[in-house]
Structure 1
């Protein structure tokens, strides 16, 4: 269904993501909305985290809070949601435990545990299962009134597999490593299934009003270069290849695509070739080194200051940002 939205007043991040020359680097923050804002706690009003995600009005309000608090300083909004809505749509129970984070009461432990078979065989109605996300996106686009573009997102297949097998966050990744080393074919089948759900999920986000999308591979740094090539990169590439095709089938225009393979800076060279417009970089690689690896390929870099600088002085923050901007080539990349 087509939605009528007001024209964009600030398309800086879109022009940048498409590789156009721009007047300055756009600015947005991955955790723009959340606990650091007092108005977040007021709007959340004692609701469970996933309750907020499932309520389009609340999710929209939370998305807009940093845009309104820092009016004119932020060049994009990112929808308030969570990467774990995909495992939920695939039939897994995910709870948000206070002070501990996400918890799966029944994680995937082996291909023979019954849960794996249920997840693999479930016919996922992505439109119905995640309808609340699309409603939040459409509502947010309307409330934005063209002030800035809206980013949609999903978790990357490898990162989602980690949560689905570990049962939550992990320091050792014992269970997810067990899966890829003990059950490699079952792991690949699961990754492929997740990838297919991601493509449809992102396409429906675009249909609802998302103007660019990001794929978060937050756990890619847990993989060796070889296992990244085997269990992460092919599925990131699948999304990059099939999302534009799905958008075309739906009669929708392509949108810029961002990938953030956190901790996998060893793979920048190959990730430049898998079809994304923008690659997010973490803070453990020098921007100038990343630019050298990229060469003349038309890929935009996003990043990459250590968020820990916010504990520092104004002078140190300024120095860090200036070093980053200079390393990226003077401010023509996504910031």
Structure 2
């Protein structure tokens, strides 16, 4: 039994004294103890070494005592497993030297055996579960098929993902083949994560907001729905689409346990668009963690009041930034723990 099950209870929609809190990207780059590890090991070595990944996962729990841990990994381990080369360049980000641009490029893309290609992730989960000792739940995650396609086709990060969109719009047959391969791999991957011990999973659609509502349905949401359908009876699924407020109505009927909300959508609109019956997660602007600690606490309490304490998980509207002072991150977590409903 998990000692602090507040996060899992909120996912079930149960009444709680206060909402649970964790932060996207909480395991990583803003923590000095993480930076020490980063000096010694490159990015994918950290992902692929269970001892390192588990230690990085635990660091923020040790320091701040969030209500859930999220496994340190990366969404791009999926294309790596699918025989697509991915590098992480310092001060640049992800770089894929051989992006997918044609139907022929798809021939070498495989749906892998998860244990042989991503077994190190399952080892990291088991090691992390041991270290957590059932104190808090552990979240596993994957990128949405559309978000993964964006990197696979663009070859790197982008403000517009113009090449990815061009591929989808000029060669939709190949685009859907790639999306289906990513979806099949992601479902198998998340199922293995559940078997290894994660207590919930989150699908990150970081680039969903790049698409129009119509294109979102075609190139992103239908594949996320497949993932939810495959996983929802095994574990709670959180769906997070950045910039995808227009799809919240469909998302709320998907069978997901919770929906992530970014900071461009108010609590009131999010509750209205989702019908008020599903757990919501979010949506503090990560840059707002640069405000003074006292202001952060006030804004967090206001945010909880606006969402309501039940069917709600306090989080950021996207990942924590590298330049956030530790005392400000602490103020965010402490504000939730100190919350008392009026």
Q: Give your verdict on TM over 0.5.
A: yes
Q: 2:286 aligns with which of 288, 307, 324?
A: 307
Name the CA distance, whole Å, in 2 between partners of 1:320 and 1:331.
18
Matched, 1:294 2:294: no
Q: Residue 79 of structure 2 aligns to a residue in which SS?
A: helix
Equivalent position of 1:255 in the other structure: 235
Q: Do the aligned partners of residues 274 and 37 (structure 1) sit closer, same or farther apart at CA in structure 2, a change above 3 Å counting?
A: same
Q: Deviations over 1:5-60 (max 9, x none)?
A: xx311011001111111111100000111121111122334211000100000000
Are the aligned partners of 1:134 and 1:204 in contact in 2 as well (CA < 8 Å)?
Answer: yes
Are the aligned partners of 1:325 and 1:331 in contact in 2 as well (CA < 8 Å)?
Answer: no
Are the aligned partners of 2:16 and 2:309 in contact in 1 as well (CA < 8 Å)?
Answer: no
Matched, 1:269 2:249: yes
Equivalent position of 1:233 in the other structure: 221
Name the CA distance, whole Å, in 1 between partners of 2:144 and 2:273.
23
Name the CA distance, whole Å, in 1 between partners of 2:232 and 2:30.
36
- 1:1-335 equivalences under 5 Å are 7-71=1-65, 74-112=66-104, 115-119=105-109, 122-244=110-232, 254-297=234-277, 299-330=278-309, 332-335=311-314
Name the CA distance, whole Å, in 2 between partners of 1:44 and 1:80.
13
TM-score (norm 2): 0.89
Structure 1 segments unaligned to the other structure (5+ residues): 1-6, 246-253
TM-score (norm 1): 0.91
Q: Do the aligned partners of residues 307 and 111 (structure 1) sit closer, same or farther apart at CA in structure 2, a change above 3 Å counting?
A: same
Name the CA distance, whole Å, in 2 between partners of 1:108 and 1:35.
30
Name the CA distance, whole Å, in 1 between partners of 2:274 and 2:32.
41
Q: Deviations over 1:236-293 (max 9, x none)?
A: 1000111246xxxxxxxx2111010111111111111112110000000100111122
Q: Residue 62 of structure 1 aligns to a residue in which SS?
A: helix
Q: Deviations over 1:194-250 (max 9, x none)?
A: 1111111001001111000000000001000110011111001000111246xxxxx
Name the CA distance, whole Å, in 2 between partners of 1:242 and 1:331.
27
CA-based RMSD of the aligned residues comes to 1.3
Name the CA distance, whole Å, in 2 between partners of 1:314 and 1:83.
31
Are the aligned partners of 1:221 and 1:261 in contact in 2 as well (CA < 8 Å)?
Answer: yes
Name the CA distance, whole Å, in 1 between partners of 2:111 and 2:18.
45
Name the CA distance, whole Å, in 2 between partners of 1:161 and 1:27.
30
Are the aligned partners of 2:122 and 2:196 in contact in 1 as well (CA < 8 Å)?
Answer: yes
Are the aligned partners of 1:137 and 1:209 in contact in 2 as well (CA < 8 Å)?
Answer: yes
Name the CA distance, whole Å, in 1 between partners of 2:223 and 2:302.
33
Q: Residue 40 of structure 1 aligns to a residue in which SS?
A: helix
